[in-house]
Amino acid sequence: MAVEQLSLILLILSPFVGSVVAAFLPATARNSEAIFAGAIALINLGIAIWLGPSVRDGGVVRMEAPWIPLLGLDFVLRLDGLAWAFVCLISGIGLLVTIYARYYMSPQDPVPRFFSFLLGFMGAMLGVVVSGNLIQIVFFWELTSLFSFLLIGYWHHSQSARTGARRALLTTGAGGLCLFAGMLVLGQIVGSYDLDVVLFSGEVIAASPLYPAALILILLGALTKSAQFPFHFWLPGAMSAPTPVSAYLHSATMVKAGVFLLARLWPAMADHDLWFYILAPIGAITLLMGAALALFQQDLKGLLAYSTISHLGLITLLLALNSKTAAVAAVFHIMNHAVFKASLFMAAGIIDHEAGTRDIRRLGGLAKAMPITAALAMVAAAAMAGVPLMNGFLSKEMFFAETVETHVQGSFLDSLLPYVATLAGLFSVAYSLRLIDQVFFGPKATDLPKKPHDPVIWMLLPVGCLVLICLLVGLFPGPVIGEFLETAVRGMLLGEKPYYSLAIWHGVNTALIMSVVAMIGGIIAYVALRDWLSGDFEGARMPGRLALRKRVERAQTALGRAWARSEVWLGLSHLQPQLRWIVCVAILTIAWPFLFRSWAIQPGAAEQPDTALLFVWLIGGACAIGAAYQAKYHRLAALIMTGGAGLAVCITFAWLSAPDLALTQVLVEVVTTVLLLLGLRWLPKRKEDIREAADLNAKRRRAADAVIACLGGVGLAALSYAVMTAPTNPDGIARWLLTYAYSEGGGRNVVNVILVDFRGFDTLGEITVLGIVALSVYALLRRFRPAVESVQAPTQKTFQDKYDAQRHESHADDRQIDAHYLLTPGLIMRLLFPLIAMMAMFLFLRGHDLPGGGFVAGLTFAVAFLLQYMAGGARWVEERLTILPTLWIGGGLLMALGTGAAAWIWDLPFLSTYFSYKELPVVGKIPVASALIFDFGVFTLVTGATVLILVALAHQAVRWQRMTGKGEKIALEEDR
């Protein structure tokens, strides 16, 4: 692979890797975080600059790796001029934003989270622009939605941040789903998801009957992302984000992803009337509405937000015109807007930071207090207004010139455009003017929360850099930006370059006249409205009926209510109905194919079982029925009988020559019984009189439950019977496993070889689930508070303690009483610890050839801990043993995964095992299999998971003691 391809991979990977690393830096490391994030942005910028020559004349750098070859999907990174320009913007402005953020974030903010999300977002954005595959674009697209959600909601203690983040995620995420559908349709039309193929299939796409569907779906994605009318509402809400985030999201990234996508697909999709008729009105409305609303904002960032919406509308409109020169103007404006808007957001952040407020009405006369900031903001605002000699002027002139030209013959909309453009220009002059005048000039504000002054140089530096670019581009467009723009344009237009001129002065033409009109009109409008604008009203929004925001919110609320109602209606608010549903669905799912799909298993003739075994079964069955009968009012009895049924199963396994299963079954029975016993203690006592006082409803419910239970039980028994007696295929899997267990897996214990080798992947999945279950049990019990009536010690224990205290006055202390009645058993249990541990090791080591293995060994080892807890209580054990079950779980999983992955080193598939015999002194020949390490992972995880559940249950008792202790203290104080 060439260096260029490798650098592309680095470009994508470095932000994501950096994101993970940044998350683990210490919370106070603002400097190292910023330097680290900045370095990654710098590396990406370096890569972009280095790759520049390769994409200059319409060149493309491509990197391919098979992804899902079966579906014709490859992972493609594709850098052309347009993507390259975006990479420059994303990493360049990203670099400045990290510097700025270092000084903007306060020491109290958890910066690792911030920089981690920022880097993740940068990576997602880079992914969108350099993806060479439609599906891949959607993937990264959704990632940007997720990361922007996390960034906007960074200050999650604030309600507005949460609302804003949620709204942004819902809007852009829903758009993303539409985009996914659209991309699938597009891929179907073209017959390939590869971007290169799609871009050159413009004619096929335009001719396809599916074009409208693809277009509308894709536009839904792009327009929601770019905050176009009527989906613009999420953007002002996103202003609750920290300002560096706003500066990044709303200048170079996030919202630009939408217009990027339009530009990206422009050669493939723009050549159709629908493109113009959908996009142009939306662009025009957004342009005008955004500009108008921006003027009426009182929040500095709100003003900038609406201005962003307006400028994005302008870009959308330019792209809608389906003319190559308009496309040039669009790309140019994307760059210009990114530069001046980023600097303005940063300036707004500085003002907020130094003056303590962003309310335009409260600010004023700041030019004296913070002259440098004022000067920089003024230049940037001038660029935004389109004042000559600034970069904004150039692209705005291009835009005006484009609107004047006729693109669609006889269209009312097309002839209306120059007026719309001029009016929007007028507004943008007015709001830029207002921004400068009311913040920096006029009477000096007196009631500011802080005394404003210029910030440290490092905070000004990023703004200064951007403003310098505004000026340089505005003054010397040809030499400064010419080549950059040309590269981007050639990339977008597939190598073509239409004629355009970057000169500042084109002579007196219509565009210039429009500019002058807008300029003068804007000044007049502002002067006329000035006093009224400072009046007492909050920032304007879209008027009532047009505001989609309200409707979306109302729909959300309605959905939430309907959901809550359905919960009540389906009876899902209680555990019992939930379980009933689960069981019913399970029964139906299994019965369905037999009842309606003509599935059938032909049961064969069963062998006549031994009389002795039959007797065991009778006892087991009686135990099971008894357990079900007693389950409601005598849980302890039910539990013991369940154990009896389990033992019957266990004897059956041993009888039928399945020692592995028997061993496992015994241990599982023991461990679950003890854990359940520990849990039972916290359940409130059932009142037996409920049984008698049941009304008709309850009786009906119980009868229904009995029917369900019988159906489930009988069904399962019938199914098992049918499966077990069905004639087996003599050449089936069983024979294969028996034949190859030793030659392929190196073990004589076929069950164990299946577990750790043949079906190792299943085992990996299972132990993962086990770990998750243990963690969830722990998480659930951590917040568990027992019912009031079960907080008190059980009657038996109270009585026992009382009696012991009476007889042994010296043993008044709680723990000594414990030691008293468990003196001998406790001692034995403690002494058994090393023996049981040894037993576990024995079972583990012989597992590959004889009954045993990691799972059984893990359970055995857990039993050792279980006994310690029973003998000494949680406190006693934890004073002496440091048990870190979560580490055991994680370590075991990693070990199993690592063993699996190690096979890759020898170019073998995941989880291939290696085995041979090694000669050891004294011990002799011992089998060495990599499966043993995998099995050790299983062992560790099983131990950890069981012990974690045990600890979670045992700690209830500790907490309860602490709780009642506190309660007694309070009672004592009250007595006094």
Residues that bind another protein (CB under 8 A): 657, 795-796, 798-800, 802-803, 806, 821, 824-825, 828-829, 831-832, 835
Least CB distance to another protein at residue 753 (A): 21
Least CB distance to another protein at residue 798 (A): 4
Least CB distance to another protein at residue 788 (A): 18
| Packing angle of the helix pair 371-385, 412-440 (nearest 10 deg) | 170
Q: Pick the closer one to another protein by CB: 806 or 810.
A: 806
The per-residue DSSP string of 380-432 comes to: HHHHHHT-TTSHHHHHHHHHHHHHHS--STT-HHHHHHHHHHHHHHHHHHHHH
**What is the spatial distance between Cα 492 and Cα 501, in angstroms, rounded to a whole number?**
18
Residue 55 tokens read as 């994409």
Q: Pick the closer one to another protein by CB: 772 or 828.
A: 828
Residue 932 tokens read as 């043993």
Residues 89, 68 contacting (CB under 8 angstroms): no
**What is the spatial distance between Cα 39 and Cα 303, in angstroms, rounded to a whole number?**
32
Q: Pick the closer one to another protein by CB: 472 or 841.
A: 841
Q: Which amino acid is at 325?
A: T
* Residues in CB range of 228: below 8 A, 6 or more apart: 258, 282, 283, 286, 309, 312, 313, 316
Least CB distance to another protein at residue 652 (A): 14
Q: Pick the closer one to another protein by CB: 561 or 802.
A: 802
* Residues in CB range of 537: below 8 A, 6 or more apart: 296, 298
Least CB distance to another protein at residue 972 (A): 22
Residue 876 tokens read as 């006693």
Give the number of other Cβ atoms within 10 Å of residue 702's Cβ. 13
**What is the spatial distance between Cα 668 and Cα 675, in angstroms, rounded to a whole number?**
10
Kindly tell me the burial class for residue 437, based on how many C-beta atoms sit within 10 Å of its own C-beta (0-12, 13-18, 19 or more): middle
Q: Pick the closer one to another protein by CB: 413 or 658.
A: 658
Residues 652, 616 contacting (CB under 8 angstroms): yes
Kindly tell me the burial class for residue 553, based on how many C-beta atoms sit within 10 Å of its own C-beta (0-12, 13-18, 19 or more): middle
Q: Pick the closer one to another protein by CB: 51 or 870.
A: 870
Q: Pick the closer one to another protein by CB: 456 or 788.
A: 788
Least CB distance to another protein at residue 645 (A): 21
Residue 296 tokens read as 């009426």
Least CB distance to another protein at residue 775 (A): 33
**What is the spatial distance between Cα 775 and Cα 773, in angstroms, rounded to a whole number?**
5
**What is the 8-class DSSP label of residue 754?**
I
Residue 657 tokens read as 């020559």
Least CB distance to another protein at residue 797 (A): 9
Give the number of other Cβ atoms within 10 Å of residue 75's Cβ. 18
Q: Pick the closer one to another protein by CB: 682 or 821.
A: 821
Q: Pick the closer one to another protein by CB: 787 or 831.
A: 831
| Helices (H), ranges, 656-787 | 659-680, 689-692, 696-725, 733-745, 750-753, 760-782
Least CB distance to another protein at residue 792 (A): 10
Q: Pick the closer one to another protein by CB: 735 or 802.
A: 802
Q: Where are the beta strands (DSSP E) in 159-219?
A: none
Q: Pick the closer one to another protein by CB: 174 or 619.
A: 619
Residue 297 tokens read as 């904002």
Least CB distance to another protein at residue 672 (A): 20
Helix H or strand E segment including 909:
none
Helices (H) and strands (E) in the chain, counts: 39, 4
Least CB distance to another protein at residue 821 (A): 6
Helix H or strand E segment including 63:
strand 61-68
Residues 145, 180 contacting (CB under 8 angstroms): no
Least CB distance to another protein at residue 824 (A): 6
Least CB distance to another protein at residue 806 (A): 7
C-alpha torsion sign, points 937, 938, 939, 942:
positive
Residue 890 tokens read as 């994680």
Least CB distance to another protein at residue 841 (A): 14
Q: Pick the closer one to another protein by CB: 611 or 824.
A: 824
**What is the spatial distance between Cα 289 and Cα 296, in angstroms, rounded to a whole number?**
11
Q: Is the peptide bond before 230 cis (omega within 30 degrees of 0)?
A: yes
**What is the spatial distance between Cα 108 and Cα 117, in angstroms, rounded to a whole number?**
17
Q: Pick the closer one to another protein by CB: 207 or 835.
A: 835
Q: Pick the closer one to another protein by CB: 1 or 656.
A: 656
Least CB distance to another protein at residue 804 (A): 10
Q: Pick the closer one to another protein by CB: 615 or 736.
A: 615
Least CB distance to another protein at residue 643 (A): 15
**What is the spatial distance between Cα 115 and Cα 27, in angstroms, rounded to a whole number?**
11
Residues forming a β-bridge with 523: none
Q: Pick the closer one to another protein by CB: 608 or 795.
A: 795
Residue 50 tokens read as 């280095």
Least CB distance to another protein at residue 678 (A): 17
Q: Pick the closer one to another protein by CB: 256 or 635.
A: 635
Q: What is the Rg, in whole angstroms, of the alpha carbon atoms belonging to the chain?
A: 36
Q: Pick the closer one to another protein by CB: 157 or 807.
A: 807
What length does the chain have?
976
Least CB distance to another protein at residue 858 (A): 20
**What is the spatial distance between Cα 336 and Cα 477, in angstroms, rounded to a whole number?**
11
